[in-house]
Amino acid sequence: MKPPLHEAALRDLALHYAARFATTGARLEQYLARKLKERGVAEDADGRTVQIDIPALVARLVELGYVDDDAYARARARDLGARGYGGRRVEQVLRFAGVGEGLRQAHAPGEAAGRKAAALMAQKKRLGPWSGEKAAPVDALARRKAHEKAVAAMLRAGHQYDHVRFILAASRIEDVDEWLNEAADEEEADQW
């Protein structure tokens, strides 16, 4: 059994965790609280237990730059978008990681990024124009069930229903490409 923790040991655990994993202040705080609960707090030379201020320890690591919620949110949102996940899923993952509301909104994918992620997910799952003619069921009931399954998969991935509907209704990949370019052009026009 591992010995109870004193403040220096807990600080070392925090530094080790921050060095190994990209994390947020809230996640680090949860980790340290769990470690204290598992191992307990060590007694000082007089036999008294000393209260360890976990929020202050985490705040110090944030101040030193070892933990950065903004960098975590930016990297995680970019990674999820590149894997084909939509805005709702990105928001959910960031909220679960303890990222604040302001940062979650700041790193939420825009319209063009949301469309691109939806198209990527459809391509990976072979949905919509990427499904191919041979894979389409002939029976109307089977076709409807396949469509419902595709919609459900895209919605679980966090995509907007309008994006899902467009991609699954598209008959050609070129139509999706035009749709993606349209959103990118609109975002560029808004920046000017």
Instruction: Work out the pLDDT band at 74, boundaries 50, 70, 90.
Output: very high
Nearest-angstrom CA–CA distance, 160 and 7: 47
- Those residues whose C-beta lies under 8 Å from the C-beta of residue 69, and which sit 6 or more positions away, are 24, 25, 26, 62, 98, 99, 100, 103
Label residue 139 by pLDDT band (50, 70, 90). Answer: confident
Percent of the chain past pLDDT 90, that is, above it, reads: 76
What's residue 137's pLDDT?
64
Write down the pTM of the prediction: 0.84
pLDDT at 134 over 60: no
Note the pLDDT tens digit of each residue in 88-113.
Answer: 999 999 999 999 999 999 999 999 99
- Cα separation, 118 vs 3, whole angstroms: 50
**Structure tokens belonging to residue 53:** 């201020």
In the structure encoding, which two tokens stand for residue 31, read together?
Answer: 């980790």
Question: Do residues 28 and 17 make contact, with C-beta atoms less than 8 angstroms apart?
Answer: yes
Average pLDDT over the chain, rounded to an integer: 91
Highest mean pLDDT among 44-53, 78-87, 179-188: 78-87
